Amino acid sequence: MNISNKNTSINLLSLDLFALRDAYLNRTVTVSEVIGQVLVQAGNFKDRNIWISLQAPETLMAEAVKLEQRDPAQLPLYGIPFAVKDNIDFAGLPTTAACPDFSYLPAQTAFAVQRLIDAGAVLIGKTNMDQFATGLNGTRSPEPYGICKNSLNPDYIAGGSSSGSAVAVALNIVSFSLGTDTAGSGRIPAAFNNIVGVKPTRGLISCAGVVPACKSLDCVSIFSRSAAEAEYLLDILALFDPNDSYARDPRPLFPALNKEDKLRFGVPKPEQLNFFGDEQGSALFSQAISTLQSIGEVVEIDFQPFLEAALLLYGGPWVAERYAGIRDYIEARPEQLHPVIRQVLSTAQDKSAVDAFAALHRLQQLKRETHAVLQGLSCIVTPTAPRIYRIDEVLADPVNLNSNLGYYTNFMNLLDLCAVAIPSGFYATGLPFGITLFSTALSDNRLLGYAKHFEALQRNAAGRIVESDGDLPAPATASSGYRRIAVCGAHMHGLPLNRQLLDLGARFYATARTSANYRLYALAIAPPERPGLIRDEEHGQNIELELWELPKAHWGDFIGLIKSPLCLGSVELENGQWEYGFLSEYYPIGKSLEITGFGGWRNYLQAKSAAGG
């Protein structure tokens, strides 16, 4: 796996979690090489104001060397670089919550961060944010940190408050990151940077070691390139922490998506959708709904109770909970607060206990009403954000525009819901648009299943891995500009000939398996080692594949690289679909080793390596 290019930065595919893990397992890259390139990438994007602090290069390299003495197969996140928002503790770096005067050096690493490190992940640094996690836009970080800028266009907001965490993933500096989400901070930045953001069920991921925003509502969130990666990370992070007073125990998570489930997606009535004057957003949301209609029923719902709950977050007594979380500091050093945050919290002391109980009673009624709406639905689908603003627009009207951003997010934690934000197209400006799927608490796995299905239908996320659950979308059409190809050997992720696909602009599409009608051989031909796939309807079995999409313009170039005895033909997949793929002529089979029983080329290579062959 070649991790460098002419700009000495890692190409987009190389930091995908699964691709990087495959590269480690196949010993085609070292942790030191990856960390070295991560540090270069971090330096390349200083103008985006992503970081508040980075681990020292020598510290990171020492960690890399230590990991290289271990077996990658024993650590699910071996060598995977990640970042965390700077309101989450890590014992090696100060926690600032984007307030320099508030800074402290924690004695202990946050539970969630330690889970990742124990799994082999490498923490690169702490990311920029809206001060004290109060904001959805990313402009509320004072000097010396500065405003974190959008990964696609620096004139636009990155979204907040977890701005730096999202941008670090979007710019391919790290494989994934952690943020927090109280009012939408794990979803808005994902939408504005074309990545996935997961706001899990409250209490599912420990908040121990997190500077509170609203302690009863806070969540640690996940930013990743795909829903499959987020699912993998959530499985590692979702462990009960007895030191988190809001942790859930036990957690009877609903099972993942069942292929026989009838999908019913709820969407707000047209008059309840609000894009604050941006008609492009309305058109993009309609396109997303049309995509969902191809896999399930779309039904209109009354969105009003959700909107009413959203108004309670800043209009009700929960602003007093924000104040209470850092009360001692605010009252001792009020001048250190960002001016807009000081304005937002200025009403906190006006809230009475009577106000609090009245709001709690109203919220309980709204929970009943909204959960009744969710009954019989797979999930509800909304835009993640109504529109995206330029930085200068938000600076000119910081409170009102921030409030607009929370139209589809502010109610989630109050109503005890979980959510997944996923990319869903682009504005004419080239900036991304996203949708959010949400449902009742502990539906996290099902939502991620729906998200994976939607990603597969979209088929436009170049360079992002989409895992297949067996039901693949229709083949790429001639009008799409791409043709799909099934590869079973040296052209797979991280293997010697994968570079041929990448150099021609191919994008990874999905993992898959053949029907049970194929045999696989380790061909007796010149290096690099390659398998030969032969159809045999009497003695065959399922063989692992990867599906790639190659630009039509380069199809002829790729075919020119294929040498005998390999050839292209039609390959039947497990779901009955047929794709162009690599096959072998018959003449070398008698001299070759049959490896059908391994189920795939990777399994064979790993077994051969373990045997010292």
Strands 122-127 and 81-85, by their bridges, are parallel
DSSP 201: P
Q: Which SS3 state, helix, strand or coil, does residue 410 take?
A: coil
Would residue 126 show up in a list of annotated catalytic residues for this protein? Answer: no
The C-alpha atoms of residue 22 and residue 305 are separated, in whole angstroms, by: 46
User: In whole angstroms, how far apart are CA 30 and each of 169, 313, 457?
Assistant: 20, 47, 34
Backbone angles phi, psi at 173, to 5 degrees: -85, -35
Tell me which amino acid residue 484 is.
R
Sign of CA dihedral 518, 523, 529, 530: negative
- State the DSSP H helix or E strand holding residue 550, giving kind and residue range, or none if neither: strand 544-551
As given in the structure block, the two tokens for residue 53 are 């602090």
Asked whether 387 and 191 are in contact (CB, 8 A), the reply is: no
Q: Which SS3 state, helix, strand or coil, does residue 48 take?
A: helix
Would residue 85 show up in a list of annotated catalytic residues for this protein? Answer: yes
Catalytic residue among 9, 85, 177, 206: 85
The C-alpha atoms of residue 366 and residue 352 are separated, in whole angstroms, by: 21
Asked whether 3 and 11 are in contact (CB, 8 A), the reply is: yes
Catalytic residue among 14, 141, 151, 185: 185
Backbone angles phi, psi at 99, to 5 degrees: -130, 100
Catalytic residue among 9, 53, 141, 161: 161
As given in the structure block, the two tokens for residue 209 are 């070691």
DSSP 514: B
The C-alpha atoms of residue 41 and residue 328 are separated, in whole angstroms, by: 39
Asked whether 267 and 300 are in contact (CB, 8 A), the reply is: yes
The C-alpha atoms of residue 381 and residue 396 are separated, in whole angstroms, by: 31
The C-alpha atoms of residue 534 and residue 140 are separated, in whole angstroms, by: 60
Would residue 161 show up in a list of annotated catalytic residues for this protein? Answer: yes
The C-alpha atoms of residue 183 and residue 315 are separated, in whole angstroms, by: 13
Q: Which SS3 state, helix, strand or coil, does residue 309 take?
A: helix
Active site (catalytic) residues? 85, 161, 185
